[in-house]
Chain A
Amino acid sequence: MKTEVLRATGITKYFYEPEKFQVLKGIDVQVNKGEFVALVGKSGCGKSTLMYVLSTMDTQYEGELIVAGQKLNDWSQNQLAAFRNQHIGFVFQFHYLLPEFTVLQNIMLPALKLNRWTESEVEERAYTKLKMLGMQDHALKVSAKLSGGQQQRVAIARALINEPDIIMGDEPTGNLDSYNTQLVFDIFKELTDVYHQSIIAVTHDEEFAAKSSRIIEMADGKIIH
């Protein structure tokens, strides 16, 4: 039986600046456990906007959002922050590590915030994730000193540290060369196949999308495929 980790129903959103404009037009999305869903579509069709809604960071929408079995409409910002911390991992196009912190500290931060494990346990877990991504040798480097591909792998390790129900990515390979794109893709593939991690990621890379378990195509604020 398939377990559902994310279900969004009838997501509708308007932008009012510079003029009223409906960016999402009643979108239904559903992601099962262990699925690797690729979200594709032309530039400006609303993919990023949808991802922000699904990620709980954007609360200005209509429709129903359920993640990890919890209905998230009407939650307060602080509640949603705590929820994201525990249930959702992020990987962005720009890797966004905290530059003054070491690789290890960057990965540990969400887990320290979660406060489920002791600091030494968190460190151990961070090392495990780094090893999985082949980055253990860089653990003590300041994150600003890494290459783009290395930083993205650290960002993935950070997204994984709290064992989230779902990882969300907005063009996670958008800023990488083909070698690193391949690497990130292989990692995602391994995560879903071996660890049954659920992933939903926006991508422009057709190769990347083709290898995912399911493709959702958007056009003009609607899902067409």
Chain B
Amino acid sequence: MAFSALTMAEQVRNQSAPDHLAELLSRVAQSRDRGAFAELFDHFAPRVKAFMMRKGSNAEQAEDLVQETMLAVWSKSQMYVNERGSVATWIFTIARNLRIDKLRRDKAQLYQDIEDFDAPDGKIGADEAMGRSQEDNYVNKALAQIPADQRELLILSYVEDVTQSEIALKLNLPLGTVKSRMRLGYQRLRKILEQVK
């Protein structure tokens, strides 16, 4: 299809499509492509900032963490393995780890990166290779299909800074109930995702 045949909306969609993001990241990894990096920044920085702010950072702290996250993307780009998940997931884990690291920082301990527990030979187990079949938009569609009380709990966990005990306290539910609701919602989500595969 000729580029000119694409509508504006299609162009925008293509620019944030998982394949395009993976392509940008591989250009960073292979040739230190600054243009590709800037595009990744423009796509992910506002998302990482929102994530940090929902998790309790103020705007300034959130931008510090955005910068750290995106510099880690530049530094670790060669470690991204497409088969293990989307670029969004990879950047999400980097951002999450940096945030945890910051919380733990008043001790000398450095956070152990997700790569630290990768298999030594770099081989990927069958169930680990969810890769392309589990694109982000499937997850969001799947989220919409699970019961509201379970979905809310799941989303609450991902976007807010609350432990399960705090959720239990807030909703005036026993911790066991919160955990089992979370478990049910998550298991249902996984089942839906497996059917999409």
The answer to whether A binds B is no
